[in-house]
């Protein structure tokens, strides 16, 4: 993905004027890279955020220079209530140097155990910590639920299969998802039998003691 950025002279609280013009203030930094204040078209930046997330590589072109910089999105700031995009940090990477990132985990397939309506799926881990070269970073990690046939079964990090060039940093015994068993609802007949409790009986021994 390619994105254009320009050097930003407006700093501090004055950046509000940029946002009103459809421009988002951003920063570029990285290993051996001096932080640089930049600005990007908000609409184009929003599209990049949707398509690449925080794991995709972006070709960032500064001030119309021919050679783009390889960057990734490191941090996104939004207004809590409106969701308005406030600021984005780009991290310049070295293509020959491994980096650590958090990759989102998504589920695919259908767990046979979920056909029982009382059962439900719990998510224990939403991202996987990995280390690899920038061009080997997966956009997401998929786990197939089709092997979960019974309640109390789960999948752990050790069950996730990735390319050999990717090192998983999360502990292999960490639980990712689990099928939990709920309580079955009683039928009207069962409810009626529960409400009609048997009367207590008194033995001869109990009677004689009164």
Residue 150, phi then psi, degrees to nearest 5: -135, 160
Measured distance CA(60)–CA(72) in Å, rounded: 9
Residue 199 within a domain: no
- Looking at the fold, whether 58 and 109 belong to one and the same domain comes out as no
Residues 81 and 105 in one domain: no
Specify the CATH number for the domain of residue 172. 2.170.120.20
* Structure tokens, 31: 């290993």
Q: Rounded distance, CA 117 to CA 184, Å?
A: 8
Same domain, residue pair 88 and 103: no
Place of tokens 């600005």: 39
- Does residue 49 register a pLDDT over 60? yes
The answer to the question of residue 61 being in a domain is: yes
Span 68-89, mean pLDDT? 94
Is the model's pTM score more than 0.85? no
Say how far apart CA 180 and CA 125 lie, in whole Å: 15
Q: Are residues 63 and 104 in the same domain?
A: no
Which residues touch 199 (CB under 8 Å, ≥6 apart)? none
- Mean pLDDT lowest among 34-43, 115-124, 131-140, 182-191: 182-191
Is 194 part of any domain?
no
Count of domains in the chain? 2
| Residues 32 and 114 reside in one and the same domain | no
Regarding whether 122 and 40 lie in a shared domain, the answer is no
Lowest mean pLDDT among 54-58, 143-147, 193-197: 193-197
- Report the percentage of the chain scoring pLDDT > 70: 87
Domain check: are 154 and 184 in the same one? Answer: yes
Check residue 80 and report its DSSP letter.
Answer: T
User: CA 189 → CA 19, 118, 192, distances in Å?
Assistant: 64, 19, 5
Find the mean pLDDT for residues 100-113.
96
- C-beta atoms surrounding 24 within 10 Å: 25
Question: Which ranges of the chain does DSSP label H, i.e. alpha helix?
Answer: 15-20, 42-52, 188-195, 204-208
**Residue ending a domain, choose from 66, 92, 118:** 92
Looking at 109-153, which runs of residues are DSSP E strands?
119-123, 127-132, 141-144
Tell me what the pLDDT averaged over the chain comes to. 88
76 pLDDT more than 90 = yes
64 Cβ contact list (under 8 Å, min separation 6): 4
Find the mean pLDDT for residues 18-32: 93
- 30 with 84, same domain: the answer is yes
Average pLDDT, integer, range 106-124: 94
Read off the CATH number of the domain in which 53 is found. Answer: 2.40.240.10
CA–CA distance, 161 with 43 (Å, rounded to integer): 36
| Domain span including residue 135 | 99-188
């Amino acid at each position: 993905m390619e994105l254009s950025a320009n050097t930003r002279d407006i700093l501090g609280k004055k950046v509000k004027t940029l946002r009103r013009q459809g421009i988002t203030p951003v920063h570029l930094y990285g290993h051996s890279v001096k932080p640089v204040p930049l600005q990007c078209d908000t609409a184009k930046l929003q599209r990049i955020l949707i398509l690449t997330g925080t794991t995709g590589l972006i070709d960032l072109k500064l001030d119309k220079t021919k050679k783009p910089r390889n960057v990734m999105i490191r941090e996104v700031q939004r207004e809590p209530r409106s969701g308005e995009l406030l600021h984005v940090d780009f991290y310049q990477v070295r293509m020959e140097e491994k980096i650590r990132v958090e990759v989102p985990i998504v589920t695919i397939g259908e767990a046979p155990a979920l056909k029982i309506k009382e059962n439900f799926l719990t998510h224990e881990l939403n991202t996987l910590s990995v280390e690899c070269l920038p061009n080997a970073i997966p956009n997401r990690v998929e786990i197939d639920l089709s092997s979960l046939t019974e309640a109390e079964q789960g999948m752990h990090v050790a069950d996730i299969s990735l390319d050999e060039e990717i090192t998983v940093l999360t502990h292999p015994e960490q639980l990712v998802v689990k099928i939990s068993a709920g309580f079955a609802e009683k039928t009207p007949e069962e409810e009626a039998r529960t409400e009609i409790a048997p009367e207590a009986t008194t033995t001869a021994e109990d009677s004689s003691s009164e």
